[in-house]
Structure 1
Amino acid sequence: MAEVWFEARQVEAWLSGRPVIHQLNLTLALGQSTTVLGPNGAGKSTLVKLIERSLHPIVQADAHLKLFGSETVNLWQLRSRLGVVTTELETRFPPGIEARDVVLSGLFGSMRLGRDQTPTPNQRRHGDALLHQLGLETIAEQRFGQLSDGQRRRLMIARALVHSPEVLVLDEPSRALDLKAAHQLLQTLRQLCRNGTTVVQVTHRIDTIVPEMQRVLFLDGGTVVGDGSPAEMLTAERLSALFDTDLTVVEANGYRQVLPAFRPASG
Structure 2
Amino acid sequence: MSADQGRTILQLGGVHLSFGSREILCGVNLEVREGEVVVLIGASGSGKTSLLRCINLLNMPRSGRIAINDETIFEAGLSDNGVSKIAPAEVNRIRSKTGMVFQQFNLFPHMTILENIMEGPVIVKKEKSSEVEMRARALLKQMGLVDHASKRPAQLSGGQQQRVAIARALAMRPTLMLFDEPTSALDPELVGEVLKAMVELARSGMTMVVVTHELGFAFEIADRVVFLDRGMVIADGPPQQLLLQPDHPRLKSFVNRFHETADMLRPFLEAK
TM exceeding 0.5? yes
Q: Find the counterpart in structure 1 of residue 111 from structure 2.
A: 97
Of 11, 24, 32, 1:7 maps to 11
Structure 1 position 207 matched with structure 2 position 221 = no
Q: Judge which range, 172-181 or 148-157, deviates more.
A: 172-181
Query: Are 1:27 and 2:31 matched, yes or no?
Result: yes
Residue 262 of structure 2 is matched in structure 1 by 258
- Any residues of structure 2 matched to 1:1-267 within 5 Å, and which? 1-15=5-19, 17-59=21-63, 63-72=64-73, 74-88=90-104, 90-91=105-106, 93-108=107-122, 119-209=128-218, 211-235=220-244, 237=246, 241-242=250-251, 244=253, 247=256, 257-258=261-262
The TM-score, its normalising length taken from structure 2, stands at 0.80
- List runs of 5+ in structure 2 lacking aligned partners: 74-85, 264-272
Secondary structure of 2:147 counterpart: helix
Cα deviation for residue 146 of structure 1 reads 2.5
Distance across 2 between alignment mates of 1:239 and 1:155: 38
When structure 1 is superposed on structure 2, of 96-105 and 65-74 the one drifting more is 65-74
Q: 1:118 to 1:246 in 2, by over 3 A?
A: closer
- What is the Cα deviation at residue 152 of structure 1? 1.2
SS at match of 1:197: coil
- Amino acid of the structure 2 residue aligned with 1:67: I
Shift of 1:176: 2.1
Q: Which has the higher helix share?
A: 2
Verify the 8 A CA contact 1:96 1:145 in the aligned structure 2: no
- Is the deviation greater in 35-44 or in 160-169? 160-169
Cα offset, 1:245, TM superposition:
5.7
**Equivalenced residues, count:** 246
- Deviation of 1:27 after TM superposition, in Å, equals 1.3
3-state SS of paired residue (1:193): helix
Distance in 2, matches of 1:177 and 1:239, equals 31
> Structure 1 residue 131: deviation in Å?
0.5
Name the structure 1 match of 2:76: none
User: Which residue identity is paired with 1:136?
Assistant: L
Residues 150/240 of structure 1: CA separation in 2 closer, same or farther (3 Å cut):
farther
Change (3 A) 1:210 1:71: same
Tell me the residue number matched to 1:262.
Answer: none
Q: Distance in 1 between matches of 2:253 and 2:123?
A: 40
One-letter code aligned to 1:49: R
Give unpaired runs (5+ residues) of structure 1.
Answer: 111-116, 251-255, 260-267
Task: Write the letter of the residue equivalent to 1:58.
Answer: R
Residues of 1 paired with 2:20 and 2:156: CA distance? 33
Instruction: State the Cα distance separating 1:95 from its structure 2 match.
Output: 2.1
